[in-house]
Chains A and B, each alone.
Chain A
Amino acid sequence: EAGVVQSPRYKIIEKKQPVAFWCNPISGHNTLYWYRQNLGQGPELLIRYENEEAVDDSQLPKDRFSAERLKGVDSTLKIQPAELGDSAVYLCASSDRTGRTGELFFGEGSRLTVL
Protein backbone atom coordinates (compact mmCIF):
# COMPACT_ATOMS: atom_id res chain seq x y z
CA GLU A 1 0.00 0.00 0.00
CA ALA A 2 1.58 3.26 -1.15
CA GLY A 3 -0.40 5.42 1.20
CA VAL A 4 -1.62 8.86 0.20
CA VAL A 5 0.21 10.02 -2.90
CA GLN A 6 0.70 13.67 -3.76
CA SER A 7 2.34 15.40 -6.68
CA PRO A 8 4.32 17.39 -7.40
CA ARG A 9 6.54 17.25 -4.32
CA TYR A 10 8.01 20.66 -5.10
CA LYS A 11 6.84 23.54 -7.26
CA ILE A 12 8.41 26.94 -7.84
CA ILE A 13 6.40 29.52 -9.74
CA GLU A 14 6.27 33.25 -10.19
CA LYS A 15 3.41 35.22 -8.67
CA LYS A 16 0.27 35.45 -10.74
CA GLN A 17 0.95 32.06 -12.33
CA PRO A 18 -1.45 29.16 -11.84
CA VAL A 19 -0.53 25.95 -10.01
CA ALA A 20 -2.27 22.66 -9.37
CA PHE A 21 -1.69 19.88 -6.85
CA TRP A 22 -2.93 16.33 -7.16
CA CYS A 23 -3.79 13.82 -4.47
CA ASN A 24 -4.59 10.12 -4.63
CA PRO A 25 -5.98 8.91 -1.29
CA ILE A 26 -5.75 5.46 0.21
CA SER A 27 -8.08 3.06 -1.58
CA GLY A 28 -11.46 2.91 0.10
CA HIS A 29 -11.07 6.13 2.08
CA ASN A 30 -14.11 8.25 1.40
CA THR A 31 -13.00 11.33 3.33
CA LEU A 32 -10.31 13.56 1.86
CA TYR A 33 -8.77 16.68 3.38
CA TRP A 34 -6.57 19.44 2.01
CA TYR A 35 -4.49 21.33 4.55
CA ARG A 36 -2.05 24.20 4.14
CA GLN A 37 0.98 24.35 6.41
CA ASN A 38 2.93 27.57 6.63
CA LEU A 39 6.48 27.54 7.96
CA GLY A 40 6.51 27.03 11.71
CA GLN A 41 2.76 26.50 11.90
CA GLY A 42 0.42 23.56 12.19
CA PRO A 43 -1.70 22.33 9.30
CA GLU A 44 -4.73 24.55 8.55
CA LEU A 45 -7.79 22.95 6.99
CA LEU A 46 -8.73 24.26 3.54
CA ILE A 47 -11.41 21.82 2.43
CA ARG A 48 -12.87 18.43 3.32
CA TYR A 49 -14.63 16.01 0.99
CA GLU A 50 -17.00 13.17 1.75
CA ASN A 51 -16.81 11.16 -1.44
CA GLU A 52 -17.22 13.78 -4.21
CA GLU A 53 -19.05 16.32 -2.05
CA ALA A 54 -17.22 19.24 -0.45
CA VAL A 55 -18.74 19.24 3.04
CA ASP A 56 -16.51 21.91 4.57
CA ASP A 57 -14.88 24.57 2.40
CA SER A 58 -15.31 27.48 4.77
CA GLN A 59 -11.55 28.08 5.03
CA LEU A 60 -10.87 27.90 1.30
CA PRO A 61 -10.06 31.33 -0.22
CA LYS A 62 -12.52 30.97 -3.05
CA ASP A 63 -11.36 33.99 -5.01
CA ARG A 64 -8.23 32.17 -6.08
CA PHE A 65 -8.44 28.60 -4.77
CA SER A 66 -10.54 25.82 -6.21
CA ALA A 67 -10.71 22.11 -5.62
CA GLU A 68 -12.45 19.13 -7.08
CA ARG A 69 -12.80 15.46 -6.37
CA LEU A 70 -14.34 13.88 -9.41
CA LYS A 71 -15.69 10.36 -8.91
CA GLY A 72 -14.90 10.59 -5.22
CA VAL A 73 -11.32 9.34 -5.52
CA ASP A 74 -8.48 11.61 -6.70
CA SER A 75 -8.55 15.29 -5.90
CA THR A 76 -6.99 18.41 -7.37
CA LEU A 77 -6.33 21.69 -5.60
CA LYS A 78 -5.73 24.71 -7.82
CA ILE A 79 -4.50 28.22 -7.16
CA GLN A 80 -4.99 30.87 -9.80
CA PRO A 81 -3.37 33.32 -9.66
CA ALA A 82 -0.78 32.51 -7.01
CA GLU A 83 0.40 35.18 -4.59
CA LEU A 84 3.59 35.42 -2.55
CA GLY A 85 1.68 34.51 0.61
CA ASP A 86 0.62 31.19 -0.88
CA SER A 87 4.11 29.77 -0.35
CA ALA A 88 3.52 26.80 1.94
CA VAL A 89 3.30 23.03 2.07
CA TYR A 90 -0.03 21.70 0.84
CA LEU A 91 -0.97 18.48 2.58
CA CYS A 92 -3.55 15.95 1.51
CA ALA A 93 -4.97 13.45 3.99
CA SER A 94 -7.57 10.73 3.81
CA SER A 95 -9.65 8.82 6.32
CA ASP A 96 -12.12 5.96 6.35
CA ARG A 97 -13.96 7.45 9.34
CA THR A 98 -13.96 4.34 11.48
CA GLY A 99 -15.91 5.46 14.49
CA ARG A 100 -16.93 9.06 14.70
CA THR A 101 -13.57 10.46 13.77
CA GLY A 102 -11.12 8.40 11.84
CA GLU A 103 -7.35 8.55 11.82
CA LEU A 104 -5.95 10.86 9.17
CA PHE A 105 -3.35 9.44 6.80
CA PHE A 106 -1.20 12.15 5.29
CA GLY A 107 0.69 12.42 2.06
CA GLU A 108 4.23 13.77 1.90
CA GLY A 109 2.96 17.18 0.87
CA SER A 110 3.55 19.54 -2.02
CA ARG A 111 5.90 22.39 -1.22
CA LEU A 112 5.01 25.55 -3.12
CA THR A 113 7.36 28.50 -3.49
CA VAL A 114 5.97 31.63 -5.09
CA LEU A 115 8.58 34.13 -6.28
Chain B
Amino acid sequence: AQRVTQPEKLLSVFKGAPVELKCNYSYSGSPELFWYVQYSRQRLQLLLRHISRESIKGFTADLNKGETSFHLKKPFAQEEDSAMYYCALGNRDDKIIFGKGTRLHILP
Protein backbone atom coordinates (compact mmCIF):
# COMPACT_ATOMS: atom_id res chain seq x y z
CA ALA B 1 0.00 0.00 0.00
CA GLN B 2 1.06 3.54 -0.68
CA ARG B 3 1.11 5.75 2.40
CA VAL B 4 2.65 9.00 3.63
CA THR B 5 2.95 9.84 7.30
CA GLN B 6 3.69 13.24 8.75
CA PRO B 7 3.76 12.71 12.51
CA GLU B 8 3.59 16.37 13.55
CA LYS B 9 0.47 18.46 12.98
CA LEU B 10 2.16 21.58 14.31
CA LEU B 11 5.79 22.55 14.66
CA SER B 12 6.79 25.80 16.34
CA VAL B 13 10.36 26.99 15.87
CA PHE B 14 12.09 30.21 16.81
CA LYS B 15 13.44 32.40 14.05
CA GLY B 16 17.02 31.46 13.30
CA ALA B 17 16.68 27.97 14.73
CA PRO B 18 16.96 24.82 12.60
CA VAL B 19 13.83 23.27 11.14
CA GLU B 20 13.09 19.61 10.45
CA LEU B 21 9.71 18.47 9.19
CA LYS B 22 9.37 14.71 9.28
CA CYS B 23 7.96 12.52 6.54
CA ASN B 24 7.87 8.74 6.35
CA TYR B 25 6.47 6.76 3.47
CA SER B 26 5.38 3.25 2.63
CA TYR B 27 5.73 2.02 -0.94
CA SER B 28 7.00 -1.23 -2.38
CA GLY B 29 8.35 0.22 -5.60
CA SER B 30 10.73 3.04 -6.45
CA PRO B 31 9.13 6.18 -5.03
CA GLU B 32 9.17 9.77 -6.11
CA LEU B 33 8.94 12.09 -3.15
CA PHE B 34 7.92 15.72 -3.04
CA TRP B 35 7.36 18.53 -0.58
CA TYR B 36 4.51 20.91 -1.31
CA VAL B 37 3.88 24.13 0.58
CA GLN B 38 0.84 26.32 1.07
CA TYR B 39 1.43 29.84 2.33
CA SER B 40 -1.43 31.80 3.83
CA ARG B 41 -4.03 32.72 1.21
CA GLN B 42 -2.03 31.09 -1.58
CA ARG B 43 -2.51 27.91 -3.54
CA LEU B 44 -0.66 24.70 -2.91
CA GLN B 45 2.66 24.66 -4.77
CA LEU B 46 5.68 22.45 -5.21
CA LEU B 47 8.62 23.27 -2.95
CA LEU B 48 11.04 20.57 -4.00
CA ARG B 49 11.32 16.99 -5.25
CA HIS B 50 13.90 14.39 -4.36
CA ILE B 51 15.11 13.74 -7.90
CA SER B 52 16.19 17.36 -8.27
CA ARG B 53 18.45 17.22 -5.23
CA GLU B 54 18.30 21.00 -5.02
CA SER B 55 17.85 23.57 -2.28
CA ILE B 56 14.79 25.78 -2.54
CA LYS B 57 14.42 28.78 -0.21
CA GLY B 58 17.14 27.20 1.93
CA PHE B 59 15.22 23.93 2.31
CA THR B 60 16.66 20.53 1.46
CA ALA B 61 15.32 17.01 1.72
CA ASP B 62 17.18 13.74 1.37
CA LEU B 63 15.50 10.48 0.46
CA ASN B 64 16.55 7.75 2.89
CA LYS B 65 15.33 4.48 1.45
CA GLY B 66 16.60 2.48 4.42
CA GLU B 67 14.48 4.49 6.85
CA THR B 68 11.78 5.22 4.23
CA SER B 69 11.99 8.88 5.14
CA PHE B 70 12.10 12.19 3.31
CA HIS B 71 12.52 14.79 6.02
CA LEU B 72 12.56 18.49 5.11
CA LYS B 73 15.30 20.58 6.68
CA LYS B 74 16.45 24.16 6.88
CA PRO B 75 19.37 25.32 9.02
CA PHE B 76 18.00 28.74 9.96
CA ALA B 77 14.24 29.38 10.04
CA GLN B 78 12.81 32.64 8.71
CA GLU B 79 9.44 34.16 9.54
CA GLU B 80 8.31 33.81 5.93
CA ASP B 81 8.68 30.02 6.24
CA SER B 82 5.46 29.87 8.26
CA ALA B 83 3.09 27.75 6.18
CA MET B 84 1.49 24.33 5.77
CA TYR B 85 3.89 21.72 4.43
CA TYR B 86 2.74 18.50 2.76
CA CYS B 87 4.89 15.53 1.91
CA ALA B 88 3.75 13.68 -1.21
CA LEU B 89 4.53 10.33 -2.80
CA GLY B 90 4.25 9.51 -6.48
CA ASN B 91 4.19 6.01 -7.91
CA ARG B 92 4.89 4.53 -11.32
CA ASP B 93 1.30 5.18 -12.38
CA ASP B 94 1.50 8.89 -11.56
CA LYS B 95 -0.79 8.48 -8.59
CA ILE B 96 0.31 11.15 -6.16
CA ILE B 97 -0.85 10.96 -2.55
CA PHE B 98 -0.30 13.46 0.21
CA GLY B 99 0.35 13.33 3.91
CA LYS B 100 -1.91 15.15 6.34
CA GLY B 101 0.46 18.09 6.53
CA THR B 102 2.46 19.91 9.18
CA ARG B 103 1.86 23.51 10.09
CA LEU B 104 5.17 25.28 10.60
CA HIS B 105 4.97 28.30 12.85
CA ILE B 106 8.06 30.49 13.10
CA LEU B 107 8.22 32.39 16.35
CA PRO B 108 9.83 35.84 16.35
Contacts and interface: CB of A to CB of B under 8 A. Distances in A.
Given A101-B90, A103-B49, A45 B97 contact: yes
A103 B99 contact: no
B6 to A, nearest CB: 8
Contacts of B96: 33, 45, 101, 104
Interface string B1-35: 00010100100000000000000000000001010
Interface stretch (A19-27, A62-70, A74-82, A105-113): A105-113
B94 A48 contact: yes
Q: How large is the interface on A (under 10, 10 to 19, 20 to 34, 35 or more residues)?
A: 20 to 34
Interface string A91-115: 1010101011111111111000000
Contacts of B100: 40-42
A14 interface: no
Interface in A26-70: 31, 33, 35, 40-45, 48, 55-56
Contact of B94 (A4, A97, A106): A97
B92 interface: yes
Nearest to B92: A100
Contact of A104 (B6, B9, B46): B46
Interface in B83-108: 86, 90, 92-101
Given A43-B86, A48-B94, A107 B43 contact: yes
Given A91-B44, A99-B51, A103-B46, A42 B95 contact: no
Interface of B: 4, 6, 9, 32, 34, 36, 43-46, 49, 51, 86, 90, 92-101
Given A42-B99, A91-B44, A99-B51, 7 more contacts: A3-B43, A42-B98, A48-B95, A56-B95, A101-B90, A105-B45, A108-B43
26 contacts: A3-B43, A33-B96, A40-B9, A42-B4, A42-B6, A42-B86, A42-B98, A42-B99, A42-B100, A42-B101, A44-B97, A44-B98, A45-B95, A48-B94, A55-B93, A56-B93, A56-B95, A91-B44, A97-B94, A99-B51, A100-B32, A100-B90, A100-B92, A103-B34, A104-B96, A106-B44
